[in-house]
Amino acid sequence: MKSIQTKIFTSFILLLAGVLVACGAELPIQELSEAKNAITRAKSAGAEKYAPTELEEARKSLLNAHQKASEEDLGETKKSADYARAKALDASEKSFPSAVEDVRKESNASIDSADEAYASQLASEPYNAAVQLRKEGDTLRETADKTLESYPRESGDDAKLKTRLAAFDQYESARQKYADSKKSADESKILALSQKQQLIDSLADIEKNLSDADKYAEGKDPEVNETRVRLDASKYKIEEGKIRDGYAEIDDIRKKSGELVAKNIKAYAEKQKELAKQSIASATTKLASFDKTKVNASRDFQVSYQRAEENLKAAEESRVSAEDLYSSEKYEDSISRSDEAIRLSRIVVDQATELADRLERKSASDQYANRDTKNGNDGKTKTNKNESTNGKNSSDKIGEDGLPEGWKRYVVRKKVPADCLWRIAKDKRHYGTSKLWKRIYDANRGKIKNPNLIFPKQVLLIPPAKGSTKFHKNQPSKKKPVTEEVEAIEQNQKPATPEESETESGDSESNKKNEVKDPEPPTEETTPPPEAGGGETEQPAPAPEEEAGEEENPENPQ
């Protein structure tokens, strides 16, 4: 019984399986699937742009196939599906070559743009990768073209279809290579452009060469300006991202700038040598014009003269060195030594001029002293007369030191910190504030040519805090011999102790009450000059240590 049942069930299963198999063979599911895939591939190949007619016909045929399948017209379904697939393949065949060519053009444009940004040198790794990927894409595209041309010659529909699909695969691979090439080229361009400023900064040596060449030619060489115009044009191109074009001329411009320096430096070095020689000759003549007897009459004059001689000697040594360097064709070093010789010789002239002024003042002072001696007038009579005169300015009263009452003499000292006008004015024995430095300068304009340049052992007149800063030379004065003057003043101007400063300050206040008061001049808040140097050259000034309540000096920052 069981055996019969088993045979019946087995027969039913086989019959059912047969029916199912027969139904599957009749429905063209594979053809419908292949048609759909072919249409999708055609769209990815750009058929909507390059083969819109074929793509639209394939879509309509596929829709018709589905319509026929719903009507159970399996014959028409298969026929429409096959036609849809065929039109989709035609659309792909027409689209792939054009689509790949467009992507290749984009790759080329990106590589050209990167090359214009000089990526081949500034970002060589991604740039070279972009070029290599483009090359591989070209190879695949050429192979795809040949494959597509050969498929009609294949025997059999299956062989033709296989060859045709292989060509499509090669086109897709080529398109991807071009896309990757474009991406890599864009990256290399960004990297290259990020180095624009570094490239512009690297042109500093050319700028210096052109500046030097222009100086050596004294602005008279037109080639310098022409080369500078070329350099500016190259810099502009670099700034605009056209680095390759901008940098193309840089090597030539750099070479040209060096040639212009060499062309003009020799003549300039020769000119500076001659100028140094003339400057030293002028300084030598100036120094030789002094009467050695008058110079030797004062230790102060002797020291000033010796310093001028030392500077003159150093200037001559620099000039000789410049000559030797010029002979060795070391023109830049020769110019430097000539400039030093010129600088030192000009200092000598300034020192000689200042010494001559001091000698002239001493001579005039000696004449007044001799006149007083002949007249038997020791200066006391006139002093007493001035003291008994009411309503006159206190600066008209002559003291025993030959100066108007309230005036002082001060010898500039070489110390640390160095003497300067504002520091002398700040001394509590004088004004107690640096703001009045200009009164000292006004009173000594005859001997101070430059308020930034005073010399050790120089004797300055310190006028009172108020009143006129003019010292009338026609007033006779009684002075100690000049040879003793500096030592005497230095002895009297030793730094005061805090107690002495307070005492002097108090005495000064009490004396001011007894003086005949003049109209008070406008307060001068001129910026104090820098401190004096070592006697020969100007030195940068340290910041004045202002007292509480004084204004901060803008030229002497804390």
Maximum alpha-carbon separation in the chain: 179
| Model pLDDT, residue 96 | 94
- Could you tell me where the beta strands, DSSP code E, fall in 136-207? none
pTM of this structure:
0.50
Sign of the four-CA dihedral 91, 97, 98, 103: positive
- 86, 135, 201, 305, 335 from 122: Cα distances, Å: 51, 21, 15, 64, 39
Give how far the C-alpha of residue 556 lies from the chain's centroid of Cα atoms, to the nearest Å: 26
Cα-trace Rg, the chain: 51
Looking at residue 171, its pLDDT comes to 94
At 454 the pLDDT is: 86
CB–CB of 177/132 below 8 Å? no
Q: Is residue 249 within 8 Å of residue 228, measured between CB atoms?
A: no
User: pLDDT by residue (tens digit) across 187-223?
Assistant: 999 999 999 899 899 999 999 999 999 999 988 899 9
Residue 510, pLDDT score: 38
Q: Which residues, given as ranges, of the chain have pLDDT below 50?
A: 1-3, 5-25, 378-395, 474-484, 496-527, 530-558
Q: What is the pLDDT of residue 137?
A: 95
Cβ atoms 123, 194 nearer than 8 A: no
Nearest CA among 219, 217, 254 for reference residue 235: 254
Instruction: For residues 523 and 512, give the distance between their C-alpha atoms in angstroms, rounded to a whole number.
Output: 18
What phi and psi, each to the nearest 5 degrees, are found at residue 459?
Answer: -95, 120
CA dihedral 355, 356, 358, 359 (to 10 degrees): 120
Contact 443, 455 (CB under 8 A): no
The three-state (H, E, C) secondary structure of 398-436, written as one string: ECCCCCECCCEEEECCCCCCCCCHHHHHHCCCCCCCHHH
Separation CA 464–CA 451 (nearest Å): 19
Summarised one tens digit per residue, pLDDT across range 493-538 is 555 444 444 434 444 443 333 333 333 333 334 445 544 444 443 4
What is the reported pLDDT for 400?
52
CB atoms near residue 495 (< 10 Å)? 10
